[in-house]
Amino acid sequence: MSSRDRHESLEPFEIAVRDSLLARAAHPTPAPAVRRQLLQRAARQQRRFPWRSPIAWPGLFRENQTPPDHRAAQHYMLSVEGLFGPRLGWFSFNQLMR
């Protein structure tokens, strides 16, 4: 049933229910600070967890790099920075493995 059909078929009691909900929702709007804080928190989230960030995953297997012609087969090398974030490079990873 479309919303228009539904509106036409509402009983008086249902109209009262709808009107009371609309009356409560009519005036208040979220404060402008909510948007500003949201974008700040999202930016912080993106900086703090770069491996979870959307921009970290593309290029994880260096799929955008075309292999040189002299290679017989394409090697999928894992980018450690892509997995663990920029602070943990190959050197640190090597240290961890010892």
Partner 1 sequence: MSDDARLILRLQSGDLEALGQLYDRHRLPVFRTALAITHDQDAAEDILQEVFLRLHQYVQRVDTSLPLSPWLYRITVNLSYTYVTRRNKWRVPLEDFVDQLIGPANYSPEPEAERRDELRRMQKAIDTLPFSQRVVIVLYYLNDLSLQEIGEILAAPVGTIKSRLHYGRENLRRHLEGRGQTSEAHYEFT
**Cα–Cα separations (whole angstroms), residue 65 to 57, 73, 74:** 14, 14, 10
Contact between 20 and partner 1 by CB under 8 A: the answer reads yes
Among the residue ranges 45-53, 62-70, 81-89, 90-98, the one whose residues contact partner 1 (CB under 8 A):
45-53
Query: Under the phi-then-psi rule, with left for phi > 0, alpha for psi from -120 to 50, and beta for the rest, what region is 59?
Result: left
Contact between 78 and partner 1 by CB under 8 A: the answer reads no
Contact between 79 and partner 1 by CB under 8 A: the answer reads no
Rounded distance, CA 55 to CA 49, Å? Answer: 11
What is the binding site for partner 1 (CB under 8 A)? Answer: 1, 3, 6, 13-14, 16-25, 28-31, 34-35, 37-39, 41-43, 45-46, 52-55, 57-58
